[in-house]
Structures are given as C-alpha cells and as structure tokens.
Amino acid sequence: MTRQRSVLELDDIQGTILRSRPLPYFGAYLLLRIDDPAHGRLQLRRLTPRVASGVNWHHHTDTAWFNVAFTFEGLKALGVPEASLASFAPEFQQGMAARAQTIGDVGESAPSHWEKPLGRPDVHVALMLFSGDRAALQPLLELAHGTQDDLAGVSIIYRVDIEMLPTTRTHFGYKDGIGIPLIEGSEAVGYPGQGPEIKAGEFILGYPDETGNLPAMPQPEVLGRNGTYVGFRKLYSRVAEFRRYLRANAESPEDEELLKAKIVGRWPSGAPIVLSPDRDDPALGADAHRNNDFLYYDDDTKSLKCPLGSHIRRSNPRDSLKDQAVAVNFHRILRRGTTYGPMLPEGVMDDDGVDRGSIFIFLGSNLSRQFEFVKSQWHNDSDFIVLDDERDVISGANDGSGTFTIPQRPIRRRLHNLPRFVITRGGEYCFMPSIRGLHWLANLAT
Ligand code: HEM
C-alpha cells in the first residue's frame, strides 16, 4: 500500500517545530501571566506579526526568532470558549504537574519542590527566543518586554536563559541533538540512519500520523491545524555527583570513559558505541553522515556493545524490538534540548551549588503516546527489555536503589545504588498554535 505524502503548510507552522537550534545558540524562555484577557489579546496582536514561520526553515535568513505557546490555563485566561477548551487533549488540560506520577516526577522531582511559578496555574504563555548570536537576541527581548510594558494585565513572571556551553556539549559532557526524526513533507534531506520518514501528523496536527489517521485536533480547525503540543522541562543536572559516581565505579580512567559511553550509548563526542565499541572516535562523532547510521537487532543482538538500558536505546529502540508488537515509530520524540547555567569546570568533583542543567523541549501531536509513553514505559520501566528494577540512568526516576546492567562476557557487569542525576525543577505542557491560530486567539471577541 502506498502512503500518501503530506505537503506541509510551512508558512502557517511556527518555525521552532521544524528548525533545529542554531549553532552556537543563545536564547531565553519567558513565561507570562495574563490577568486581563483583553490585554493578553492585545499583546498577542503585537507579537504575532513577528513570529517566525517554517518557510525556508532550513535556509532561514533571520539570526534570531521567537515562537509562542500557551498552557491550558493560558488559553482560558485569553478567553477561549468552553467548547474549544474541551477539545484539547486531556493530559494538556491537566497540565504537566498533574501528570507527575505518570512521568516519574516523584521524590525530589515532585511538583511540590518545583521552582515557582513552574507548574502553577498562573503560567499562561511561553515565549521561546532563539538566536545564533548574543547581540541579535537583545532586540527580541526588548520586543517581548516592550509589547507588555504598558499593559497592566500582562506580566513576565519567569525567565531562564539558555546558551551553548564552551564545550558545545551538555553539562554531563555528551554531544546532544543527534537523534532527530525525519519529518515527512519538511523538505529536509535525511542523514543515513535517521530512519524512515515519520508521518507529519506525529509532530504537526492536521496531517495523517503513523496510524494512518488524522490525530485528534483541538477545535476550531483554525486553532488546531498546523499546531502541536510542547513539553517544557527545566532539568537540573547533578554534574559533580555524576562524576563522582563514575569515578567510584570505574577501574581506571579509560573504564570511566567506557562507563560513561555505556550509560548513554554514545561516547562524549557523539560517536555511537555500536559503531565504535572500545573507544571514542571524535571523527565519527562529528560526521553527520555516519554518526547515526546504525541499528541494533543484527549489529548488537545481545547488546554487548550498547546496553539495552542505555539512554539512546531506551529512548529510541530502533529495530531492537523487532520480535515484539511495539510500533517504535508511534513513540518518536522531536527534541530541542539546550543547556542553562555555567559549566562545572572539568575535573571538579564537588558541587558548587550553582544551578545548571538542560531545558528539555519536546514537540509532538500526542503527549501521552509520545513523551509520556517514553518516560513511563521506556525510561522508568524495564519490562520491555526484561531488566528488573532498572531505570534510565540519565533521565529515570532513580532513588539510590536501582541498577544498570552492562552485558559483557564472561559475566555481565552491574552498577548499583544509582542516585538521581537529573532533578525536575519544573515543567509545563503547552500548545503551540499555527500562525493563523495565533491571529484567531489574538482577535477573540469574548
Ligand atoms: C537532562 C536530561 C537529558 C539528557 C542530559 C539527555 C542526553 C542525551 C544525549 C547525550 C543523547 C545522545 C545524543 C543524541 O542522540 O542527541 C540523547 C538522545 C536522546 N534522548 Fe535524551 N537526554 C535527556 C533527557 C531526555 C528525555 C526526558 C527524553 C524523552 C522523554 C529524551 C529522549 C532522547 C531521544 C529520543 C534521543 C535520541 C535517541 C536516538 O534516536 O538514538 N532524552 N539524550
């Protein structure tokens, strides 16, 4: 059966959905509260003409751009009618804090410990600002402030700045942003190993998804079509603790690097451990034509190279689950990860008390089948890989009691007493409407 290809309405889709972060990147996330719907809509009328679309998304000429998304409470605060509100996905209506048990935000990561105002009903609008250079970001920040300065009914209540680290890697030391799905109709040329094109409806509403159907879409159509759901998470990284854990469990400096690679499934350079099982290969890590070109089932059936419990194998098992009835492409994740906070200098093993980590952004048309499924079934549960009491070392809900199994011969190796290296400091589910949807919201007559 031939699958019909979707043609995307790029001029109506907000740019962030298709554009990767720039390199280097600078940016900020601003959260706004709306106390007066008329003021909220007026600000939106001022902002909407400047919102970046998906046109020329891979040859865009702007060095800085921004996009806008709303929480469920935010849509209410703007005056969206009841019938429309009721048409949004139930998880979105509940909000991320209410989904804490499902996604493993428990213990130290529980919403009761979140940074204010994250997870509270007064977070209404998220502005996402990205730039390839620091200076170009300033006018966007001024725009965001300038459009609400004279509006008593709109306030900026939170800001977090993001910036690429000097190492170009995450705080834990790994290269990030490699495994990204290829979206049908996005005009992107895929890299080897990126996998088959994923139906556009998995990431953008209004197009068929991997089930062959149109995903449930918020109403009216002008609001839902070409929009998507967004998960925003502030994830604090315990870098010193991660370094100490590796040191304490390694037999040598080389073994420390190997453990680090086994935990993620990639060496710090990004080189996949399936293709380079014994040592890092920076040339491979840097080569986009080779660094994602691997599968698991035939190349690493017994997971002697890349553990079943490694972060990338859990997050996207590729063909590992061939003999199980799991449609991996129903659970692909479109990520826009960035770092916040300064680096803990190389070699420092003690925590300096500074806030640092990742702002994790997930974009997709089905919060429960994508983000929540990956968190609950693949990161925090091990039934699918038959590993008792194991959670993802990087992003799982570990509590100091868990293990991580590294298959090897003659006897498998096990790390024990895994603490939680990543703490959720807060998060929000948002809806990012189309550009037409933004106009509709900005001109609501209620
Ligand atoms: C602070 C938290 C996290 C860190 C430091 C982190 C780090 C990484 C790194 C280093 C990679 C390998 C490079 C790459 O493919 O881009 C990766 C891949 C990936 N991560 Fe995470 N991650 C985090 C949280 C998450 C979460 C919460 C999810 C999903 C719910 C996720 C989903 C993925 C996916 C889907 C891949 C690509 C796998 C592939 O296609 O092979 N990550 N992550």
Each residue's pLDDT tens digit in the chain (446 positions)? 456 678 899 999 999 998 888 889 999 999 999 999 999 999 999 999 999 999 877 777 788 999 999 999 999 999 999 999 999 999 999 999 999 999 999 999 999 999 999 999 999 999 999 999 999 999 999 999 999 999 999 999 999 999 999 999 999 999 999 999 999 988 788 899 988 899 999 999 999 999 999 999 999 999 999 999 999 999 999 999 999 999 999 999 999 999 999 999 999 999 999 999 999 999 999 999 999 999 999 999 999 999 999 999 999 999 988 767 568 899 999 999 999 999 999 999 999 999 999 999 999 999 999 999 999 999 998 776 667 779 999 999 999 999 999 999 999 999 999 999 999 999 999 999 999 999 999 999 86
Kindly give the distance from the C-alpha atom of residue 437 to the centroid of ligand 1, in angstroms, as a whole number. Answer: 30
- Would you tell me the crossing angle of helices 253-264 and 239-249 to the nearest 10 degrees? 120
CA atoms within a 13 Å half-sphere pointing along the CA-CB vector of 422: 24
Which two structure tokens, joined as six digits, stand for 438? 């933004």
Q: How many residues does the chain have?
A: 446
Tell me the pTM.
0.96
CA-closest residue to ligand 1 atom 24: 395
For 247, phi then psi, to 5°, come to -60, -45
How far apart are alpha carbons 362 and 203 in whole angstroms? Answer: 10
Query: Which atom in ligand 1 lies closest to the alpha carbon of residue 312?
Result: 38
Query: Which atom in ligand 1 lies closest to the alpha carbon of residue 175?
Result: 10
Q: What was the pLDDT predicted at 1?
A: 47
CA-closest candidate to residue 50, choices 14, 102, 93, 18: 14
Q: How many CB atoms lie within 10 A of CB 216?
A: 14
Q: How many CB atoms lie within 10 A of CB 134?
A: 12
**Distant-in-sequence, close-in-space partners of 236: CB < 8 Å, separation ≥ 6:** 355, 356, 357, 422, 423, 424, 425
Query: Which atom in ligand 1 lies closest to the alpha carbon of residue 233?
Result: 27
Residue located via tokens 């970046």 = 52
Q: Is 312 in the pocket of ligand 1 (CB under 6 A)?
A: yes
How far apart are alpha carbons 355 and 340 in whole angstroms? Answer: 8
Query: Which atom in ligand 1 lies closest to the alpha carbon of residue 171?
Result: 5
Q: Is 171 in the pocket of ligand 1 (CB under 6 A)?
A: no
The residue whose CB lies within 8 Å of the most ligand 1 atoms, and thus the one to mutate among 395, 420, 422, is 395
Residue located via tokens 């040339």 = 283
Q: Is 174 in the pocket of ligand 1 (CB under 6 A)?
A: yes
Kindly give the distance from the C-alpha atom of residue 315 to the centroid of ligand 1, in angstroms, as a whole number. Answer: 7
Kindly give the distance from the C-alpha atom of residue 393 to the centroid of ligand 1, in angstroms, as a whole number. Answer: 11
Q: What was the pLDDT predicted at 3?
A: 60
Q: How many CB atoms lie within 10 A of CB 322?
A: 14
Quick one: how far is CA 243 from the chain centroid? 24
Q: What was the pLDDT predicted at 322?
A: 78
Asked if residues 364 and 198 have their Cβ atoms less than 8 Å apart, the reply is no
Residue located via tokens 């998507």 = 228
Kindly give the distance from the C-alpha atom of residue 271 to the centroid of ligand 1, in angstroms, as a whole number. Answer: 14
Q: What was the pLDDT predicted at 326?
A: 64
Kindly give the distance from the C-alpha atom of residue 311 to the centroid of ligand 1, in angstroms, as a whole number. Answer: 7
How far apart are alpha carbons 382 and 390 in whole angstroms? Answer: 6
CA-closest residue to ligand 1 atom 31: 315
Q: What was the pLDDT predicted at 257?
A: 98
Q: Is 375 in the pocket of ligand 1 (CB under 6 A)?
A: yes
CA-closest residue to ligand 1 atom 8: 176
**Distant-in-sequence, close-in-space partners of 279: CB < 8 Å, separation ≥ 6:** 254, 257, 267
Kindly give the distance from the C-alpha atom of residue 170 to the centroid of ligand 1, in angstroms, as a whole number. Answer: 11
